[in-house]
Chain A
Amino acid sequence: MSSEHKDAVKRAPMRHIRYFIMVSLIMIVIHYLVPYTILLNATNFALFAYWALLVLFWIIVTSIIVERWWFK
């Protein structure tokens, strides 16, 4: 077992995990909800942009969280 791994075992896998789960659920819900309510009949690239930006935003947020909250 490497020393880095030994250190990791002593720490929590993720900080603030409850908040992250709550926000994640909201993200998944709005991934379904907005297209089927507001953007149902989009006639331009609004729905394409919505899905793309939502996921891009979540990738950025998750990348930062993984960097800062994991193994702390």
Chain B
Amino acid sequence: MITTFIVLLIVYITVGTIIAIISRRFGVKTSAEYFVAGYRLGGFLASMTYAATTYSAFMMIGLVGYAYATGVGALGFELAYLLSTITLLAILAPRVWLMARKRGWVSPSEMISDLYDSKVLGMVIAVLYLIALVPYISAQMIGIGSIFEGIGIGYVIGIIVAAILTFMWIAIAGIWSVASTDAYQGLWMILAALTYITWLSLYLLPTAHLDLNKVSEILGRAGMLGITKFWSLPTFIAFTLPWLFFAITNPQVVQRLYMPKSEKSLKRLIQYFAIYGFIYTIIVVFVGLLARALSESGFIPMITNRDLVTPALLLLAHPLLASFIYVSIVAAAVSTANSIILSVASSFVRDFYERRVRMINHRTSLLISLCIVTSLVVVASLVAYFRPGFIVELSVLSSVILLPLAPITITGWVFEKVSNVKIEALSSLLVGFIMALSAAVIYGPKRAFITTWVGLPISAWVLIISTVILLAGLIRSKLSPSK
């Protein structure tokens, strides 16, 4: 198994690196080219980088486990994200795409800063990204380290491989190498998922003397096909709410809306991503449910740690198949981690350097970018290496911490001229952020995620309070129009 995995990993890394090196021919001279591909990404690349960035190692490990442990509700949770994302993109993406070109946006924090005409707001958001997303990047590296540990290669080697890959595929050509390797990794991920479900359905189920009817009967009897106790309505809302707004709060996906080269490419981004997301989600949840049926039928023992469902199933697979799927999880983690790092770096380069100097020296910009990318990779790797409980758990809460960005982003995109509510926008952001972080400190990040106040999850309160503060500002600005 170890040898097969290493061979496949070397193939994956070699092909990815060749693709990254080829992508250098697109040329990177300015920060706009380094971070948003000079607004000239084709439809296929745009959609695949969006998909590979969105779908992390969580899918094959976390979501399979949730489906196994909590039933069909896991599908509703993940599809709520997809439903909301394609809706938001259909409504807002063309506006954002046009505005990004017109106003020359490169980073998402710069976008808010520009819409509200507040440099402070841009800098605060850049710091907010750092606090919310470094734990999330570390979680991806921990995922890779755990796979290496499980296979027997060692956790630390996994972290080192993750760090080198993440850094290398950014450093080669910025977003060009990230997007092209994302496309390659996205294909690897979906192929692995298709192979996984095919193996389960055509080999493992017949071996266990099960067919779809029996699976339905077994799962129905176990109560896994309805709404289980875990998915009470407040929990379902707590899980889904931050994800409903993921497409507008997370910088790595917002930034991808600037990049398509034409209307047609932008359309393909949404259409291909939707199809990809749908197929990937259905397969992943179905794998979890089939694994549960295998446990209920006694073919495999019950798995108490839900994160170990995929590893337990892959013990039964041919080493080549298991390695193929494990490498797909590495790919999912790397494609998410390097996209986030590049996006966070763009915020610092734009809001702390380029927008504060009179003449931009592009060589200096690219040098600063590389320094920030290096620092982020090192910090995330160190956090992954030491695995400090609170920081690692905080990754669960990253989407809630970024949630206060939803009202100010939507308002900015819709009204465009919102500089008269910059104070309220900043207050709305800070109050929401402090609420989320306080809840994490008081309850612990994992409990804070599902704790309810007056029947509503904390994420709902964060969103309500942030929206009310911003709304108050909008009403004030209407009542007292600017001179």
Question: Cβ of A48 and Cβ of B72 under 8 Å apart?
Answer: yes
Question: Cβ of A42 and Cβ of B79 under 8 Å apart?
Answer: no
Question: Cβ of B87 and Cβ of A24 under 8 Å apart?
Answer: yes
Query: Contact flags (1/0) for A17-59 with B, using CB distance below 8 Å?
Result: 1001100100110011001100111111111100110111011
Once the chains are docked, how many angstroms separate the CA of A28 from the CA of B79? 10
For B262, list chain A residues within 8 Å (CB).
Answer: 2, 4-5
Question: Cβ of B83 and Cβ of A27 under 8 Å apart?
Answer: yes
Distance (whole angstroms) from the CB of B192 to the closest CB of chain A? 21
Question: Cβ of A66 and Cβ of B87 under 8 Å apart?
Answer: no
For B87, list chain A residues within 8 Å (CB).
Answer: 24, 27-28, 58, 62
Distance (whole angstroms) from the CB of A26 to the closest CB of chain B? 11
Q: Given A1-B101, A70-B94, does the pair A59, B275 have CB atoms closer than 8 Å?
A: yes
Distance (whole angstroms) from the CB of A43 to the closest CB of chain B? 4
B378 within 8 A of A: no
For B263, list chain A residues within 8 Å (CB).
Answer: 4, 8, 70-71
Question: Cβ of B227 and Cβ of A35 under 8 Å apart?
Answer: yes
Question: Cβ of A20 and Cβ of B90 under 8 Å apart?
Answer: yes
Distance (whole angstroms) from the CB of A52 to the closest CB of chain B? 6
Q: Given A48-B225, A71-B94, does the pair A58, B267 have CB atoms closer than 8 Å?
A: no
Question: Cβ of A59 and Cβ of B91 under 8 Å apart?
Answer: no
Once the chains are docked, how many angstroms separate the CA of A17 from the CA of B93? 13
Question: Cβ of A36 and Cβ of B83 under 8 Å apart?
Answer: no
B82 within 8 A of A: yes
Question: Cβ of B75 and Cβ of A52 under 8 Å apart?
Answer: yes
Distance (whole angstroms) from the CB of A58 to the closest CB of chain B? 6
For A67, list chain B residues within 8 Å (CB).
Answer: 267, 271
For B227, list chain A residues within 8 Å (CB).
Answer: 35-36, 39-41, 47
Once the chains are docked, how many angstroms separate the CA of A41 from the CA of B90? 34
Question: Cβ of B216 and Cβ of A55 under 8 Å apart?
Answer: no
Question: Cβ of A17 and Cβ of B101 under 8 Å apart?
Answer: no
Closest to B94 in A: A13
Question: Cβ of A62 and Cβ of B270 under 8 Å apart?
Answer: yes
Closest to B221 in A: A43
For A59, list chain B residues within 8 Å (CB).
Answer: 82, 86, 274-275, 278
Question: Cβ of A56 and Cβ of B72 under 8 Å apart?
Answer: no
Distance (whole angstroms) from the CB of B141 to the closest CB of chain A? 31
B301 within 8 A of A: no
Distance (whole angstroms) from the CB of B291 to the closest CB of chain A? 15
Distance (whole angstroms) from the CB of B455 to the closest CB of chain A? 14
B84 within 8 A of A: yes
Question: Cβ of B94 and Cβ of A40 under 8 Å apart?
Answer: no
Distance (whole angstroms) from the CB of B300 to the closest CB of chain A? 21
Contact-size category for B: 35 or more
* B228-275 with Cβ < 8 A to chain A: 233, 236-237, 244, 261-263, 266-267, 270-271, 274-275
Distance (whole angstroms) from the CB of B234 to the closest CB of chain A? 11
Once the chains are docked, how many angstroms separate the CA of A66 from the CA of B383? 42
For A52, list chain B residues within 8 Å (CB).
Answer: 75, 79, 278, 282
Once the chains are docked, how many angstroms separate the CA of A66 from the CA of B272? 12
For A39, list chain B residues within 8 Å (CB).
Answer: 226-227
For A24, list chain B residues within 8 Å (CB).
Answer: 87, 90-91
Closest to B272 in A: A63
Q: Given A13-B98, A17-B91, A27-B87, does the pair A32, B236 have CB atoms closer than 8 Å?
A: yes
Question: Cβ of A43 and Cβ of B225 under 8 Å apart?
Answer: yes
For B363, list chain A residues within 8 Å (CB).
Answer: none
Once the chains are docked, how many angstroms separate the CA of A62 from the CA of B270? 9
Q: Given A28-B87, A31-B80, A51-B75, does the pair A9, B102 have CB atoms closer than 8 Å?
A: yes
For B90, list chain A residues within 8 Å (CB).
Answer: 14, 20, 24, 62, 65-66
Distance (whole angstroms) from the CB of B296 to the closest CB of chain A? 14
For B233, list chain A residues within 8 Å (CB).
Answer: 32, 36
For B24, list chain A residues within 8 Å (CB).
Answer: none
Question: Cβ of A55 and Cβ of B79 under 8 Å apart?
Answer: yes
Question: Cβ of B220 and Cβ of A44 under 8 Å apart?
Answer: yes
For A4, list chain B residues within 8 Å (CB).
Answer: 262-263
B476 within 8 A of A: no
Chain A contact residues, CB within 8 Å of chain B: 1-2, 4-5, 8-9, 13-14, 17, 20-21, 24, 27-28, 31-32, 35-36, 39-48, 51-52, 54-56, 58-59, 62-63, 65-67, 70-71
What 9 A-B pairs come out closest when comparing CB atoms?
A43-B220, A13-B94, A24-B87, A42-B226, A59-B274, A41-B226, A55-B79, A63-B271, A13-B95
Q: Could you list 12 further interchain pairs (A-B, Cβ under 8 angstroms) beyond the known A9-B102, A21-B91, A41-B227?
A: A4-B263, A13-B95, A27-B87, A28-B84, A45-B225, A47-B76, A55-B79, A58-B87, A62-B90, A66-B267, A70-B94, A71-B94
Chain B contact residues, CB within 8 Å of chain A: 72, 75-76, 79-80, 82-84, 86-87, 90-91, 94-95, 98, 101-102, 216, 220-221, 225-227, 233, 236-237, 244, 261-263, 266-267, 270-271, 274-275, 278, 282, 285, 289
- Could you list some 13 contacts between A and B, CB below 8 A? A4-B262, A5-B98, A21-B91, A39-B226, A44-B225, A47-B225, A48-B285, A59-B275, A62-B86, A66-B267, A67-B271, A70-B94, A70-B263
